[in-house]
Amino acid sequence: MTERTSITPTHRYRNNDKAVGVGNAFWDMSERNGLAGIVAELQDGVLHTPEGHEFVNFTCCSYLDLDSHPKVIDGAVDALRRFGVLDHCIPRSRVQIPALLELEASLGELFGAEVVSAISAGVASAGLLPLIASGHLGNGTRPLMVFDKYAHVSMAGAKPACADETEVVTCGHHDVGFLEDMCKRYQRVAYVVDGADSLGGYAPVQELAELQEKYGLLVYYDDSHSVSAYGERGVGYIRSHCPIRDERTITVATLNKAFGTSGAAILLDGYAKPAQRVIERFAGALSYSQPMNTAAVGASLASAEIHRTDELTALQGRLRAHIELFDSLIKTEQTGTTYPIRVVPMSDETVIEAGRQVYEAGFYVSPVFFPIVPRGTAGLRVMLRAGQTEEQIRALGAVLVEVGALPEEAAP
């Protein structure tokens, strides 16, 4: 028998040997130390494990605690009763119950955009980015796709599919100079970036808007991390600051973080109905997989209603106060920003043990360390929420100092 061929992958845009090889060791170590694989029930904001341990979660992205709001829960139940079906299983482009249309009208009013819903932001990006790459979403010109180096994995994961449609490159974080160079060289450029990124920064929307005006740059923002937590009526960072409201700006946002429900919103301006049809028919899983189900729609309608009231402003205020309280206790690189995530620096050697002690004291914070983050940037990731109490935040601060965090000098 002749020798059978072995395959050498190109790994131009992804590499599972590296991802699994590097990442699995991190997860195994976290799990061995009891800081991953935790199962616990939620009661009145406190998690309870079957072994009897109680802790407050300080690594949950439901920044306004709307996911357990009584009106959001009732909204889900009411919609199930009103529409009488969880998910009428057939592509919506053929037949749909009016649930999604009702939700999209409500979210459209809230965000001041044309809204197409999706079951998740990950699914939305996986479907939309290849359509942008081929020019079918945009102005018809096939763009050079420039992915920001730190674009969330839900977007970066679409690189291979985009690369089959056009040229794909990765640029430095917020490298506007590089983008301008590309805009001078290519007929069209599309830039893929987070609106608010997990490092605590926001996209340079004004500088990007200049490139949008000057060269017709298309910007694809994922604003999942700031919607609801930021801006009037929780419209998020991009809808608050981006002046370009036409075909050149596309924004997606999950409804699963501060919005407190499930699903995602694709925010469009200046895209006529036919473009929205192309999305429904060709944006990957949006065309053939399940849409948001009726419970998620009902919960989202209720959350959107809360966004229209002073209650949202009050919740945002509580979140901001909690962030400021934490900053007054512990020094981090993010101190002073409006973003709800803090990384409390620790060494690669001590971070797991520190995380374990904090957990034993009744708080979950997630350790991040090499190889998941570069050497020298390990730390305990802390997320503030409106629903935490001042007492809990102060107690966490005290424990963090005990395990080696740097107290803020002015700390009381």
Ligand X SMILES: *Cc1c(COP(=O)(O)O)cnc(C)c1O
User: Applying CB under 6 A, which residues contact ligand X?
Assistant: 120-122, 152, 154, 194, 222, 224-225, 254, 256-257, 264
Q: Between 152 and 342, name the residue whose CB sits nearer to ligand X.
A: 152
- Bridge partners for 330 per DSSP: 407
In contact, 284 and 127? CB cutoff 8 Å: yes
In contact, 343 and 330? CB cutoff 8 Å: no
Q: Between 257 and 385, name the residue whose CB sits nearer to ligand X.
A: 257
Q: Between 119 and 403, name the residue whose CB sits nearer to ligand X.
A: 119
Q: Between 215 and 230, name the residue whose CB sits nearer to ligand X.
A: 230
What is the amino acid identity at position 162? Answer: C
In contact, 336 and 408? CB cutoff 8 Å: no
For the CB of residue 254, give the shortest distance to ligand X in the complex, in Å. Answer: 3
Q: Between 244 and 264, name the residue whose CB sits nearer to ligand X.
A: 264
Residue from 210, 263, 205, 211 nearest 231 by CA: 205
Q: Between 215 and 221, name the residue whose CB sits nearer to ligand X.
A: 221
For the CB of residue 224, give the shortest distance to ligand X in the complex, in Å. Answer: 4
For the CB of residue 222, give the shortest distance to ligand X in the complex, in Å. Answer: 4
For the CB of residue 198, give the shortest distance to ligand X in the complex, in Å. Answer: 7
For the CB of residue 298, give the shortest distance to ligand X in the complex, in Å. Answer: 18
For the CB of residue 360, give the shortest distance to ligand X in the complex, in Å. Answer: 28
What is the Cα gyration radius of the chain?
22
DSSP state of 12: S
In contact, 295 and 85? CB cutoff 8 Å: no
For the CB of residue 60, give the shortest distance to ligand X in the complex, in Å. Answer: 12
Residue from 224, 408, 203, 233 nearest 323 by CA: 408
Q: Between 341 and 393, name the residue whose CB sits nearer to ligand X.
A: 341
For the CB of residue 120, give the shortest distance to ligand X in the complex, in Å. Answer: 3
Cα 320 from chain centroid (whole Å): 19
For the CB of residue 150, give the shortest distance to ligand X in the complex, in Å. Answer: 10
Q: Between 60 and 211, name the residue whose CB sits nearer to ligand X.
A: 60
Residue 123 CB neighbour total at 10 angstroms? 21
**What is the DSSP annotation of 289-354?**
S----HHHHHHHHHHHHHHTSHHHHHHHHHHHHHHHHHHHHB--TTTT-SSSEEEEE--TTTHHHH
Number of H helices, E strands in the chain: 15, 14
For the CB of residue 84, give the shortest distance to ligand X in the complex, in Å. Answer: 26
For the CB of residue 156, give the shortest distance to ligand X in the complex, in Å. Answer: 10
Separation of alpha carbons 359 and 365, rounded Å: 7
Strand ranges, E, within 58-160? 114-118, 144-148
Token duo for residue 18:
């590296």
Q: Between 120 and 366, name the residue whose CB sits nearer to ligand X.
A: 120
Q: Residue 241: in which H helix or E strand, if any?
A: helix 236-241
- Bridge partners for 368 per DSSP: 379
Q: Between 196 and 301, name the residue whose CB sits nearer to ligand X.
A: 196
Q: Between 212 and 256, name the residue whose CB sits nearer to ligand X.
A: 256
Cα 221 from chain centroid (whole Å): 11
**What is the DSSP annotation of 143-205?**
PEEEEETT--HHHHTTHHHHHTTS-EEEE-TT-HHHHHHHHHHSS-EEEEEESB-TTS-B--H
